[in-house]
Chain A
Amino acid sequence: MMMTDERNEELFRAMIESARRQAPAPGDDLFDRVMADADREIASRARAVVRCRPRRSAASVLLAVLGGWGAVGSMTVAALVGLWVGVFPPDGLAALSPALLGGETVAVPLTGADALTGLEDML
C-alpha cells in the first residue's frame, strides 16, 4: 500500500513537471493584439464620455463666454450703479464735470424732452 502511494505520488509529480516545463514567452503578435485591445478600450471610453456630455444651449454658451454667473452678476451691478449715478448724480459730480469737459458745464438730463438739446450744445 505504501509502495503504491509512493508510485502514485511519483506519477503525479512526473505529470506536473511535464506541464511546468511549459513556460512560453509571448510573441510580438500576441503582444500587439493585447495592446490593440487596450487602445480600443481607451478609445471607446473616450467616445462614451463625449456621448454622456449634455448638449449646451445658446444661453449657456453665452454665459460661459461672459465668464459665468459671477461675471454676469458683477456686470449687472455695475450697470445698475451707472444708471443710478446718471439719474441721481451725487453733489460732487457737478463740480468735477467742468474739469473733465474743458471748463464748460454741461447739464444733460437723462430724463425729459430737452436731453438732445444739451448734447447739441456740447458738440
Chain B
Amino acid sequence: MSADPLQDSQSDEALLAAYARGERDAARALSRRLLPRVLGQAQRMLGDRAEAEDVAQEAMLRLWRIAPDWEADRAKVTTWLYRVVANLCTDRLRKSGRGVALDAVPEPADTGPSVAAGMQDRDRHMALRAALADLPERQARAVALRHLEDLPNPEVARIMGESVRTVESLVARGKKGLIARLRGRKAELGYDDDR
C-alpha cells in the first residue's frame, strides 16, 4: 500500500471521477484513504470484526458502482459513505434482532489486566449493539453518527437527509432509549466498578 503523493493531494471526488474513467490507481488511493474510516464506523456500530468487514466491502462496492453516475455537485463522497454504512449497519442490526450473542464473539487467549479491560469493552460494546438494534432505525442511525462518530448535528443532518431540528430530536430520543435499555445491565457490564 505505497502512497502516491499526487493522488493523495486530489479530492475524493476527483479520484472517484478518475476511477470512473478506468484508472485503477485512483481506486487504490480512494481505498487507502476511505477504507479505514468505513471499517471503523461499521465496527463501532456492529462490534463484530467479520460483519464490519462485510459492510465495509459492500459500501466500497456500492461506491465503485455509482462512480460513473456520480454528479460533481452531489454530496461529498465521505457524506455519502457515512450514510451507506449507517444504513447497511442498521439493516444488519434489525436482521440480527438483539445482536450477536456474547458467547459467539471470540475471547482473547491471554488473561492480563489489559485483556480483562478489553473483554469489558467487548461486553459493553455488545450491549450497546443490542440496545441500538432495539431502537427505531432512524434513532439508531442518528445516535451512532452523533455519538459514535462524534459528528456535529448539521453533518448528521446532511448525511441522513433530515433537518437539523429533526436530527436533534432523533438523537435526544435515541440517547434516552439507549440509556433505558442499558440501565438494567450496569452491574453486568462492570459499570459500578468504574466508580
Contact = CB atoms under 8 A, between A and B. Distances in A.
Interface residues of B, number: 44
Interface stretch (A33-41, A69-77, A89-97, A113-121): A33-41
Contacts of B1: 28, 31
Contacts of B178: 12, 15
Contact of A35 (B31, B53, B175, B189): B31
A16 to B, nearest CB: 5
A108 B1 CA distance: 80
A8 B175 CA distance: 10
Interface residues of B: mostly helix, strand, loop or mixed? helix
Contacts of B121: 18, 21-22
Contact of A25 (B36, B125, B147): B36
Contacts, number: 105
Interface residues of A, number: 28
Interface of A: 8, 11-12, 14-16, 18-26, 28, 30-31, 33-35, 37-39, 41-42, 45-46
The 6 closest A-B pairs by CB, nearest first: A38-B27, A18-B124, A41-B64, A18-B121, A37-B61, A34-B60
30 contacts: A11-B182, A11-B191, A18-B120, A18-B121, A18-B125, A19-B44, A19-B124, A19-B148, A22-B44, A22-B121, A23-B40, A23-B43, A25-B36, A26-B36, A30-B57, A34-B31, A34-B60, A35-B31, A37-B57, A37-B60, A37-B64, A38-B27, A38-B64, A39-B24, A41-B64, A41-B65, A42-B24, A42-B27, A45-B22, A46-B22
Interface of B: 1, 19, 22, 24, 27-28, 31-32, 35-36, 39-40, 43-44, 47, 49, 52-53, 56-57, 60-61, 64-65, 67-68, 120-121, 124-125, 127-128, 147-148, 150, 175, 178-179, 182-183, 186, 189, 191, 194
